[in-house]
Amino acid sequence: MKLLRYGPAGREKPGLLDAEDRIRDLSAHVTDIDAAAIGPDGLRRLSAIDPATLPLVEGPQRYGPPVAGTRQFIAIGLNYSDHAAETGQACPTEPIIFTKAVSCIQGPYDDVRKPRLSTKMDWEVELGVIIGSRTSYVSKDKALDHVAGYCVCDDLSERQFQIERGPTWDRGKGCETFGPVGPWLVTKDEVGDVQQLGMWLDVNGKRMQTGNTNTMIFDCAEIVSYLSEFMVLLPGDIITTGTPPGVGMGMNPQVWLNEGDVIELGIEKLGSQRHKVIAWNERR
């Protein structure tokens, strides 16, 4: 299934995408695509519904984040071997963990703001893992049983904030609008092998990133298991799992995002996103 949330920001309704890529309204069955809906029981109930019996949503719609009520937005840094090589750094021996503020989460086609005082705004196409059930001390072989599905993430970053203003990365990762997710939560059965997905990102129509999840240093199961040693993962939590090569920081000369730039990105089987960069104080 491809589960989604559509409508104005803050007033999204639950839906799913049918086989013809049309939105079907799920409001008669769930109040939102939230922790209850994406848990094992909730997904079983939703998968039993014939999409043809659901009301068809007419006309263009805004897509919101595909899951509501995310309480933790966790990120893994330097997790692709080819990206580590482009930065000149050794592959980490354990996952690098940082957090993105949940307040930065937004829809996949919403504008993104260039922060005030930003000089080095960067892009990162990433695979998002959406947790479906409470997870603590789970073994690697059971870890994906706790995953509801996957989505596209753009781990937008301000590198000057992240690297040049202290030892922690978080300050450059959670700025307003720096967490576009979606357009859909794609359930595991529809994705298949999550470690064999092509990825891409363009800026102003120019291909910047091309990669595949098969070059992850730590795969999704290992990441979920590892994180569960240090924190309880909750239904609706999102883990963004690292980026392949081609970020602006890794180029020579380096390239940074500016107001007016358009970012387009996608992952095989998970859909695509598109954002325009606007000024921090510009109305959306």
Give CA–CA dist 228/88, Å, rounded: 29
| CA-wise closest residue to 31 among 48, 49, 46, 53 | 46
186 beta partners: 2, 150
**pLDDT of 226-247, one tens digit each?**
999 999 999 999 999 999 999 9
27's torsion region: left (phi>0), alpha (psi -120 to 50) or beta? alpha
pLDDT category at 107 given cuts 50, 70, 90 is very high
pTM: 0.96
First to last CA, the chain: 31
| CA-wise closest residue to 242 among 111, 81, 87 | 81
Q: Quick check: 135 and 146 in contact, CB under 8 A?
A: yes
**pLDDT of 72-106, one tens digit each?**
999 999 999 887 777 777 889 999 999 999 999 99
**pLDDT of 159-209, one tens digit each?**
998 877 877 778 889 999 999 999 999 999 999 999 999 999 999 999 999
